Amino acid sequence: MIILGIDYGKSKIGFAISESKIAEPYRVVKIKSMEDAIEKVKEVVSSFAKASEDKQVEQVEQVVIGDSEGRMAEETKEFGRKLGEKLNIPVIFQDETLTTQEAQRLSIEAGIKRKKRKALEDAYSAALILQAYLDNL
């Protein structure tokens, strides 16, 4: 089972994936609107539907979205609701408090250069969100 983690923002989305009990940063995409974000997530989800040698299909079976606080929380909830309707798969919300700061700290400790760190910051945050969800299962 593949679980997709999402760090949703107004201008970009970070993605992480898990095929086991470990979340991995996947990628970051820029977005123009909520509708554009939904289309980009659909593209990512469809990219995981791949046939293996025994003709079984690996696909995203669940989405975990970082749930923020304040003004962004309402938009994130709306995004998750619409995404669940479009994908027809479960969408779960996971607290994302301080994940960006934690992602920055861990990236610095790992010695990742500033340019790469900034480019993948949202994917690292998505991985932390997804890992928190997996740890709570």
pLDDT value at position 69?
Answer: 82
Partners of residue 2 on adjacent β-strands: 60
32: containing domain: 2-136
pLDDT at 52: 43
Domains of the chain: total:
1
50 — pLDDT class (breaks 50, 70, 90): low
In 3D space, the residue among 70, 75, 46 whose CA is nearest the CA of residue 59 turns out to be 46
Sheet holding 60-67, edge to edge: 24-30, 12-18, 2-8, 60-67, 91-95
Q: How far apart are alpha carbons 103 and 91 in whole angstroms?
A: 23
β partners of residue 120: none
Give per-residue pLDDT as tens, 63-100.
999 998 888 899 999 999 999 999 999 999 998 876 77
pLDDT at 116: 67
pLDDT level of residue 53 (50, 70, 90 thresholds): very low
Rounded to whole angstroms, the Cα distance separating 92 from 80 reads 8
Global confidence as pTM = 0.87
Model confidence over 104-130: pLDDT tens digits? Answer: 777 777 777 777 666 678 898 899 999
Helix %, strand %, coil % of the chain (to 5) = 45, 30, 25
Instruction: Indicate if the alpha-carbon torsion angle 68, 130, 90, 118 is positive or negative.
Output: positive
**12-25 confidence digits (pLDDT tens):** 999 999 999 999 99
pLDDT tier at 51, thresholds 50, 70, 90: very low
pLDDT 10s digits, 23-42: 999 999 999 999 999 999 99
CATH number at 82 reads 3.30.420.140
- Long-range CB pairs of 72-78, under 8 A, 24+ apart, other chains included: 72/9, 72/10, 75/8, 75/10, 75/34, 76/8, 78/34
